[in-house]
Amino acid sequence: MKVAVVGIGVAGAYLMNQLSDLHDVYVTGFERMPEKDHDAVCAWATCDNVMKDYAKQCGLNLENYILHDGKKMKVDVGPGIDSGNNIEINLKGMVSYDKLKLIHDMIRGTNINFEKSPTKTSLEEDFDIIIDSTGFHRHYLPKLNDELWIPCVQYKVKYENIPFDDFYLKAFPSLSGYFWYFPLGNGYAHIGSGDFQRKQTHIFMQSFIKKYPCEILKKVGRPVRITPPSKCLPFTDGKKTIGVGESIGTVYALLGEGIIPSTICAQIFMNNLYDRNKYIQDVLSTFKIYTNVYNFINKSINKKFNLLKDFMEVLKIYKYMKSSEDRFGMEINMLNMLKLTKI
C-alpha cells in the first residue's frame, strides 16, 4: 500500500516514523517548507508524562529534548501585564521541549520531499491513501463553513535578565485569548499572543517588551484551529484523502494545546490503518469533550456565557481535567477555573 503524508508537523512526523516501520506500507512525505526553513510554529509546551511515551514509541527519549521543566505557572487575571493578581497553578509534568529537533529525529531516515506541496490529482495518481496533516491549512480536505480560529503571533526572544523563572500566562477578558511567556532555558523564551478579538495582541506584546526588554530572534504568526473534531467533519474527501491532527480539529481549545491531541490522533490513525470508519468513530469518541470545551469558549468569546445557566458545562470540563491532571501536566482546581470564567 502506498501512503502519502502531506504536512510534516507533529502528526505528520509521528506518522512518517510509524508507517516507515511497516513492511507492507511504502510511505512518502511531503512538506511545503524547504528543509532548512522547516519550522514548528508553536510555543513548544507539552506534558512529558504523555509525550515521553510517544517519543519512546519512535525510539527516542523525550528527556533529551526538554528545555524547561515547569514547577508553577502564573496565570495573571488582573488588568495589564504582570498585574500581581495571579492564579498559581502547580505543574506536574508541564515542560517546554525542542519540538523541531524531536520532529527532525522522528523523520530521520524516512522518505520526505521538502519544498513540495503536490496537487491532489498527482497524489491520487500515485498513492492509495493521502493523509492531510497540513494542520490549520487542511489543504486537501473540503473547506469548513462554520470555523473558529484564533490568530496568533509569537516571538522567540533572548533575555539578559529573565522576567519570570517559570511559565506565565495572561488571560484576556472573556477568555478571548492569552498572552504567554514560556521559558526555553538559558535566557531564551517564546512570548506570544493569541486573541480572537485581535486587539489585545499588539497591546500586550508591545507593553511586555517595553517592560522586559529582550533581543527578538524570530517573529512568526499563524492561526490555531479551535473548532473541535465533531465540527470538522468530513475528515475525508470521500476518495483517498483523510485528515489527521489539527486539520481535523485536535486542539484543546481552553489551552490552545495541539501537540498531544494531534499525536494521539496520529496514533488512532495507526490503530485503524485499514478501517477508515473505525478511525473516524474513534477520533470522535476520544475527542468528544472537545466539543464541550469549544461550546464554553465560543460562549465566553461571544459574551453569552452565564455561570448559572452553563454551570453543568463547566462542571463537565472540570471533572474531565481533574481526572486527567497527569495528561495536562498540572493540578486542576475548581476555584481557579471559576476565577477564569469571571474575567
Interface stretch with ligand FAD, choices 73-81, 129-137, 155-163, 292-300 (CB under 6 A):
129-137
- Rounded CA-CA distance 170/299 in Å is 20
CB of 308 to ligand FAD, least distance (A): 32
Selected from 55, 89, 148, 152, the binder of ligand FAD by CB under 6 A is 152
- Can you say how many angstroms the Cα of residue 99 is from the centroid of all Cα atoms in its chain? 11
CB of 318 to ligand FAD, least distance (A): 20
* Contact characters 223-262, ligand FAD, x per CB under 6 A: -x--------------------xxx---x----xxxx--x
- Using CA atoms, how far residue 16 sits from 113, 231, 276, in Å, is 12, 27, 18
Selected from 3, 4, 5, 10, the binder of ligand FAD by CB under 6 A is 10
Nearer to ligand FAD, 189 or 305 (CB): 189
- Rounded CA-CA distance 270/274 in Å is 9
222 binds ligand FAD (CB under 6 A): yes
Selected from 29, 70, 135, 249, the binder of ligand FAD by CB under 6 A is 135
Selected from 17, 20, 134, 236, the binder of ligand FAD by CB under 6 A is 134
44 binds ligand FAD (CB under 6 A): yes
Selected from 16, 30, 177, 205, the binder of ligand FAD by CB under 6 A is 30
- Rounded CA-CA distance 181/104 in Å is 25
- Using CA atoms, how far residue 14 sits from 9, 59, 104, 113, in Å, is 8, 11, 10, 16
Interface stretch with ligand FAD, choices 39-47, 63-71, 120-128, 164-172 (CB under 6 A):
39-47
C-alpha dihedral, 335 to 196 to 134 to 267, nearest 10°: 10
- Rounded CA-CA distance 290/272 in Å is 21
Strand ranges of the sheet holding 112-114, from the earlier edge strand across to the other edge = 112-114, 26-31, 2-6, 129-132, 241-243
- Rounded CA-CA distance 158/155 in Å is 10
- Rounded CA-CA distance 127/207 in Å is 50
198 binds ligand FAD (CB under 6 A): no
3 binds ligand FAD (CB under 6 A): no
> What is the total count of residues that contact ligand FAD (CB under 6 A)?
38
Selected from 17, 28, 110, 133, the binder of ligand FAD by CB under 6 A is 133
Selected from 29, 70, 183, 192, the binder of ligand FAD by CB under 6 A is 192
In order, the DSSP letters of 46-85 are EEHHHHHHHHHHTT--GGGGEEEE-SEEEEE-SSSTT-S-
Report the interface residues with ligand FAD, using CB under 6 A: 6-12, 30-33, 41-46, 117, 133-137, 139, 152, 154, 192, 222, 224, 245-247, 251, 256-259, 262
